Structure 1
Amino acid sequence: MSKHSTLIKPPKNLPHHSPIENVLSLLPLVDIGPDIYTNARPLWHPPGARGIFGGAAIAQCLAAAQATIPPDFTVHSMHCYFVLAGNSEIPILYHVERVRDGKSFITRTVQARQRGACIFTTTLSFMKKGSAGKQTVEHAVSMPKDIMAPPDVNTDRIAVVGDDRPFESVRIPISQRGPTSDRKLRQWIRARGRISDCPPNVREEELQTGQRANLPGDNHQAHLSALAYMSDSYFIGTVARVHNLQRFANRQNIQRTLRNFRGSDAERQQMSEYLLQIAREEEEENNEFDATRTPDERHAHQQDDRRIGMMVSLDHAIFFHNPRAFRADEWMLTEMDSPWAGDGRGLVVQRIWSKDGVLIATCTQEGVVRLQQGESKL
């Protein structure tokens, strides 16, 4: 069977769309069945990863479900499970099931499928705008204070060969001491470019021909999909980072990954540069940790020969708190911590604020976190 990254030839990128909109665009497959969609463009396979970037499956499942929802309903939660590694060389079909349409809430499930097998599944709940009434109970966790401000200009933070993610991030240096479970990792993130104001249900050929140009600009769904995509960045890796367990700062790990890679020389070079960039970040974090350690703690860490052997996401949940009160192409602060790890798994909690301090979302993720065992340890 021949392999194709998309079911049909990818359409041209639209100049008024941001990179993340082009990456996440879907096409309806009305000739195959109702509420079935497919990726319009190839999906990113991070160098060294088992499959496609998990954020793509999360975001495109959300986009597929949103295509079946009235405009006055907005997603407030989604619960996802990673079932199989997605293959970037095979098209993905997104099957939406309309579970329930109520007056205040709508429920959808979406399965992402390749070769007839489910690789990812999610259940989403949508709430009608204004259905809570005029009086509500309200509180929110405040955004951390006294942290590094985001840059005022575009940054080349991830401008690495082979790393074509449509968003950028700026890591905030670690300065917190204390128990591992109390350590918090923070970064500023945003989508590159500017997300368009075109409603997501307008077909690309209509935009190219100028049809429906007078539709009001309400593209909050694109911002939600972009946020969902970015929420998977460095997520389960937080478990290793709060323990200061290096994955790639050890050059032997990079060499082993490259030896097992079966791509072209050019792709191998791209992977090497990408992994070396991650290694530099790990070394920076290691130095930051050392700056806050006592001499005894630094000595103990130097003697710690544990290495991550396997790290894979199992599930992912997003609770959208203020889904219409932010732009994903403006800086947002993420804060991640790991309240628990054990039995070969780890749990991470992430909070996301707008630059103005509005709590946008809370995310959780559990994943497999296994150490190299016995003689396989490097």
Structure 2
Amino acid sequence: MNEPLQSLLDLLDLEPIEQDIFRGVSRPAVVPRVFGGQVAAQALVAAGRTVPGERGAHSLHAYFLRPGDPGAPIVYQVDRIRDGRSFTTRRVVAIQHGQPIFHLSASFQAAEEGLEHQDPMPRAPDPETLPDAAELLPAHADKFPDPGVIDRLLEARAAVDLRYVEDPPFLTAGKPREPRSQVWFRTRGKLADDPLLHVCLATYVSDMTLLDSVLLAHGRGGWAVGDVVGASLDHAMWFHRPFRADEWLLYDQHSPSASGGRGLASASIYTQDGRLAVSVIQEGLVRIPRT
């Protein structure tokens, strides 16, 4: 396991303070606030640690309330809403400086059999044929007005191998295209078999690229090239089938709408053998900077 991946796993290993209260720290982010995927993953860890038995996470719904301070710890308070015969519900509030910055509701279910169907996996090239971040980003240094952006992006990708099927918006600014984006991702090293760990890592990664499809429709490069101000507003995920975050997963993303300074993106995450593992929806703040 490489050092950045171990650092990410340590980030998700929350410190228990009292019953149903946990504390987490932050890692340096690409932008000067706590990365939304981090706080969502940590909140899900907190919720999962209070769930009895072998119940796995099947859904989460969350709101990003305030920008997080990466220099301060985050306290996660878990409310045990319900422990039913098949389902367990938890509510988590993330607090910094005495104020809530994030709110999550998560549901867990005991395994059971049921009806089965899914959308087919869309076509995508083999991930091994695509460039990783270390190959892609330095080759396009001229696209970034701030040269430090590349270093921050590479640091953010150090624990997760994330490969774009087509050029991302920050490399194609000024060229609108279909509001669809695909990336393959997996952790840069093997993980333990704990299903909650794999779900939490997918939650972490899910916030990295989801709003790309919104930007593509308008030829906007995003914060990295300075033509958009954005932030996650809310986030929802449904975990349909077991998967491993240390094996290749296809993140197929699409934006059906943008209006009112907000953009909506929906996505599906497939295993490499074609199983639909996760569905994701997010709305984000997408504003054009005032000149």
TM-score bracket, shorter-length normalisation: 0.7 to 0.9
Q: Which residue does 1:338 correspond to in 2? A: 255
**What is the CA distance between 1:187 and its match in structure 2?**
0.7
* Cα pair distance change 1:248/1:181, threshold 3 Å: closer
Amino acid at match of 1:35: D
Q: 2:41 aligns with which of 51, 59, 80?
A: 59
* DSSP-derived class of the 2:42 partner: helix
Greater fraction of residues in strand: 2
Amino acid at match of 2:151: V
Q: 2:52 aligns with which of 54, 70, 73?
A: 70
Distance in structure 2 (CA, Å) of the matches to 1:110 and 1:59? 11
Q: Which residue does 2:212 correspond to in 1? A: 237
Q: Which residue does 1:170 correspond to in 2? A: 163
In the alignment of these two chains, the number of paired residues is 266
Q: Which residue does 1:186 correspond to in 2? A: 182
Q: 1:150 aligns with which of 102, 106, 127?
A: 127
**What is the CA distance between 1:153 and its match in structure 2?**
10
Q: Which residue does 1:45 correspond to in 2? A: 29
Distance in structure 1 (CA, Å) of the matches to 2:130 and 2:288? 39
* Cα pair distance change 1:18/1:330, threshold 3 Å: farther
Distance in structure 1 (CA, Å) of the matches to 2:78 and 2:223? 38
Q: Which residue does 2:192 correspond to in 1? A: 196
Give the % identical residues: 33
CA contact (8 A) 1:92 1:113 kept: yes
* DSSP-derived class of the 2:283 partner: strand
**What is the CA distance between 1:232 and its match in structure 2?**
0.5
Alignment of 1:361-376 (within 5 A): 361-373=278-290, 376=291
CA contact (8 A) 2:59 2:239 kept: yes
Greater Rg by CA: 1
**Structure-1-length-normalised TM-score:** 0.65
* Cα pair distance change 1:28/1:182, threshold 3 Å: same
CA contact (8 A) 2:235 2:282 kept: yes
CA contact (8 A) 1:181 1:338 kept: no
Q: Which residue does 1:107 correspond to in 2? A: 89
Q: Does 1:20 align with 2:8?
A: yes
**What is the CA distance between 1:35 and its match in structure 2?**
0.6
Alignment of 1:122-137 (within 5 A): 122-130=104-112, 133=113, 136-137=114-115
* DSSP-derived class of the 1:164 partner: helix
Q: Which residue does 2:202 correspond to in 1? A: 227
**What is the CA distance between 1:22 and its match in structure 2?**
2.1
* DSSP-derived class of the 1:196 partner: coil
Distance in structure 2 (CA, Å) of the matches to 1:246 and 1:315? 21
Amino acid at match of 2:182: R
The RMSD of aligned alpha carbons is 2.5
**Which string of whole-angstrom CA distances, capped at 9 and with x for unpartnered residues, describes residues 187-210 of structure 1?**
10111211124xxxxxxxxxxxxx
**What is the CA distance between 1:20 and its match in structure 2?**
3.1
**What is the CA distance between 1:350 and its match in structure 2?**
1.1
Q: 1:141 aligns with which of 102, 119, 125?
A: 119
* Cα pair distance change 1:240/1:153, threshold 3 Å: closer
Q: Which residue does 2:264 correspond to in 1? A: 347
Q: Which residue does 1:8 correspond to in 2? A: none
* DSSP-derived class of the 1:227 partner: helix
* DSSP-derived class of the 1:87 partner: coil
Q: Which residue does 2:172 correspond to in 1? A: none
Q: Which residue does 1:85 correspond to in 2? A: 67
Alignment of 1:281-296 (within 5 A): none
CA contact (8 A) 2:2 2:189 kept: no
Distance in structure 1 (CA, Å) of the matches to 2:222 and 2:250? 25
* DSSP-derived class of the 1:228 partner: helix
5+ long unaligned stretches in structure 2 = 139-149, 168-175
Distance in structure 1 (CA, Å) of the matches to 2:280 and 2:22? 25
CA contact (8 A) 2:237 2:280 kept: yes
